[in-house]
């Protein structure tokens, strides 16, 4: 049996590898960042060390049979509660899926390090970085489907029924409004010039790119619409 200080190498490796994944999540400003991932990985590694080596003295006793793998199995099921708490659903938008998956993965990395798999654990972290940093640029270069999601940021004169005309114009082009959000000073300028009150809104639309382009052209002709900005809605599941 190895001295207990030897198992600190397993846990230390788990801490380092978990910090790498946590730093990537922290860089992207996700809800679970460096501390969460590091603690999850370290805890999983400790449970794995207990599961694999913590019952050696009991196993030496005659008539005793202990299944230490049950401890590791509980880590796999228990980490799901943390992951579920990171997922948020708001209307048709799901957030936190990638972060929940990374917490689930970092627990597995911690368990691998705790089990003494000193090649597998770092290899999985390298694969994780390749996936999270490489798939994004790849998907942006892939051809998109005929349906896309865009956000229209619009400034218009308030109190003149302009919003009604905006919604009607969008509907005429066959676009679906999935979310409407009122904002203040969206374009970085005051909203009270010359006694005229302006309102800034963000409309999240679903439809063909051509329909979005045509709707922007039509909206520019609506009296009272002063500014329009179009942005792609990226995947917010992470």
Asked whether residue 38 falls in the same domain as residue 128, the answer is yes
**Residue 238 in domain:** no
Contacts (Cβ under 8 Å, ≥6 apart) of 77: none
Domain boundary among 141, 174, 189: 141
Q: Over its length of 238 residues, how does the chain's per-residue pLDDT go in tens digits? A: 677 788 899 999 999 999 999 998 888 777 778 898 999 999 999 999 988 887 776 666 666 666 767 888 888 888 877 777 776 655 445 567 788 889 989 999 999 999 899 999 999 999 999 988 887 777 667 665 566 788 889 999 888 888 888 988 998 888 888 888 887 666 655 555 555 788 889 988 888 888 888 888 899 888 889 888 888 776 554 5
Asked whether residue 168 falls in the same domain as residue 219, the answer is yes
**Residue 12 in domain:** yes
pLDDT of residue 229: 87
**Residue 72 in domain:** yes
Domain boundary among 141, 163, 178: 141
Q: What whole-number distance in Å separates Cα of residue 227 and Cα of residue 69? A: 62
78-105 burial, b for 16+ CB within 10 Å, e for fewer?
A: ebeeebeebbeeeeeeebbbbbbbbbbb
Asked whether residue 104 falls in the same domain as residue 185, the answer is no
Number of domains in the chain: 2
Q: What whole-number distance in Å separates Cα of residue 175 and Cα of residue 149? A: 10
The CA-atom distances, in angstroms, between 163 and each of 127, 167, 222, 225, 232 are 48, 6, 10, 9, 22
pLDDT of residue 84: 73
With CA atoms as reference, report the closest residue to 159 among 196, 201, 200, 202: 196
Asked whether residue 18 falls in the same domain as residue 134, the answer is yes
Q: What is the pLDDT of residues 150-173, one digit of tens each?
A: 888 999 988 888 888 898 899 888
- DSSP alpha helices (H): ranges in 115-208? 120-141, 162-172
Asked whether residue 31 falls in the same domain as residue 114, the answer is yes
The boundaries of the domain holding residue 59 are 4-141
Asked whether residue 98 falls in the same domain as residue 191, the answer is no
Count CB-CB contacts under 10 A for residue 171.
12
pLDDT of residue 198: 84
The label of the residue with tokens 């439809």 reads 207
Asked whether residue 79 falls in the same domain as residue 189, the answer is no
Kind and range of the H or E element at 24? helix 4-27
Asked whether residue 164 falls in the same domain as residue 118, the answer is no
Asked whether residue 20 falls in the same domain as residue 49, the answer is yes
Secondary structure (DSSP) of 90-136: ETTEEESHHHHHHHHHHHHHHHHHHTT-TTHHHHHHHHHHHHHHHHH
Asked whether residue 129 falls in the same domain as residue 226, the answer is no
Asked whether residue 124 falls in the same domain as residue 208, the answer is no
Asked if 212 contacts 230 with a C-beta cutoff of 8 angstroms, the reply is yes
Does pTM surpass 0.85? Answer: no
With helix as H, strand as E and coil as C, how does 206-228 read?
Answer: EECHHHHHHHHHHHCCCCCEEEE
Asked whether residue 110 falls in the same domain as residue 157, the answer is no
**Which CATH number belongs to the domain containing residue 222 in this structure?**
3.30.70.260
pLDDT of residue 141: 72
């Amino acid at each position: 049996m190895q001295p207990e200080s030897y198992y600190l190498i397993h846990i230390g490796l788990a801490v380092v590898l978990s910090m790498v994944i946590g730093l990537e999540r922290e860089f992207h400003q996700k809800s679970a960042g460096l501390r969460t991932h590091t603690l999850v990985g370290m805890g999983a590694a400790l449970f794995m060390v207990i599961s694999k080596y913590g019952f050696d003295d009991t196993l030496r006793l005659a008539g005793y049979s202990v299944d230490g793998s049950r401890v590791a199995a509980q880590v796999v099921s228990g980490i799901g509660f943390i992951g579920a708490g990171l997922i948020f659903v708001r209307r048709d938008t799901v957030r936190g899926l990638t972060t929940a998956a990374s917490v689930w993965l970092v627990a597995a990395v911690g368990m691998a390090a705790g089990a003494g798999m000193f090649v597998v654990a770092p290899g999985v972290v390298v694969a994780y970085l390749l996936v999270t940093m490489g798939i994004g640029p790849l998907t942006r270069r892939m051809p998109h489907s005929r349906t896309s999601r865009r956000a229209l940021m619009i400034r218009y004169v308030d109190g003149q029924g302009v919003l009604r005309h905006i919604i009607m114009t969008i509907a005429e082009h066959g676009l679906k409004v999935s979310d409407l959000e009122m904002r203040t000073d969206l374009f970085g300028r005051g909203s009270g010039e010359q006694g005229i009150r302006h309102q800034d809104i963000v409309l999240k639309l679903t439809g063909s790119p051509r329909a979005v382009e045509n709707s922007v052209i039509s909206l520019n002709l609506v009296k009272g619409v002063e500014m329009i900005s179009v942005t792609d809605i990226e995947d917010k599941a992470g």
